[in-house]
Structure 1
């Protein structure tokens, strides 16, 4: 995207304070739109939104994981993660199996056929996002990747802070 193609901002000419105000509003709209989109996808798949995101995160793991790892990935307590796995097992998206190296450990494994359904839906939905990102140059894509990575880290820290319920809230 060239400078002349860059979107014009309402706060243009208003300086950094104006841009920061616009960023706060755009961020809130962005987060709300993502949450609503996630809810719509979850509804379509007849899943809870947290369950949908757990499947997303599990698909990024190199193999089966423990419920403790699911708790780490999602920021849930181990009890809540266990209930999440129970729901995913009932829906046929995961199975539980004993670890062959340590029979005391139970691993949660994705069911490939169910994940193929999940992947097929994402394939149908991905086209417009791919087209949108194709409009950006490599430097802009790198900026977006850095922003997303930092957002993931900050979000995890904020979840921990909120769940800790410390006096600094």
Structure 2
């Protein structure tokens, strides 16, 4: 360890130098990410979804038409294939998705949102957009501490 000017402690970790303000910025960033996650979880719960179900619906909505498969959900949500399959089964049971055979490759099953899912996702996404807009200046301030 060595001390820089004006009480700035600098620590060498694997060749990188981090200032105390960067540690604080990292802690602040992780805190804001967790606050957003808690916000998202609470709003998903209000409409009867688990956080993973909300994330899966959002992933399907954002995917290209031929991209939304169980494997894609597993990749986007960082899940094992069997966990993604269970999640998709639950979404199907809730009438939030439809499974369709791919017209290009009959071995692939594509996932589509139902009108019910579109409505739920639209309301959740509007609330999330407002929260992201609120967080943007704060996150930019944190990011500036790394310059």
TM-score (norm 1): 0.62
Higher relative contact order by CA 8 Å / sep ≥ 6: 1 or 2?
A: 2
More strand per residue: 1 or 2? 2
Superposition map of 1:17-96 within 5 A: 17-64=19-66, 65-96=68-99
Please state if 1:109 is matched with 2:112: yes
Q: Give, in whole Å, the separation in 2 of the partners of 1:103 and 1:128.
A: 41
Task: Give distance in 2, aligned partners of 1:35 and 1:132.
Answer: 12
Task: Determine if the alignment matches structure 1 residue 122 to structure 2 residue 146.
Answer: no
Which structure 1 residue ranges, 4+ long, deviate > 6 Å from structure 2?
Answer: none
Unaligned runs of 5+ in 1: 1-12, 145-169
SS in 1 for 2:99: strand
Shift of 1:110: 1.4
Q: CA deviation at 1:107?
A: 1.3
Larger Rg: 2
Further displaced range: 28-37 or 15-24: 15-24
User: Paired residues, what number?
Assistant: 128
- The 1:25–1:58 alpha-carbon spacing in structure 2 relative to 1, beyond 3 Å, is same
Aligned-partner SS, 1:97: strand
Contact 2:58 2:121 in 1 (8 A): no
Q: What do you get for the CA RMSD once the two structures are aligned?
A: 2.8
How has the CA–CA distance of structure 1 residues 22 and 66 changed in structure 2, closer, same or farther, with 3 Å as cutoff? Answer: same
Q: Quote the offset at 1:14 in angstroms.
A: 4.6
Per the TM alignment, residue 128 of structure 1 is displaced from its structure 2 partner at its CA by 5.3
How far is 1:132 from its partner? 5.7
Task: Specify every segment of 5 or more residues in structure 2 that has no aligned partner in the other structure, as ranges.
Answer: 1-5, 9-17
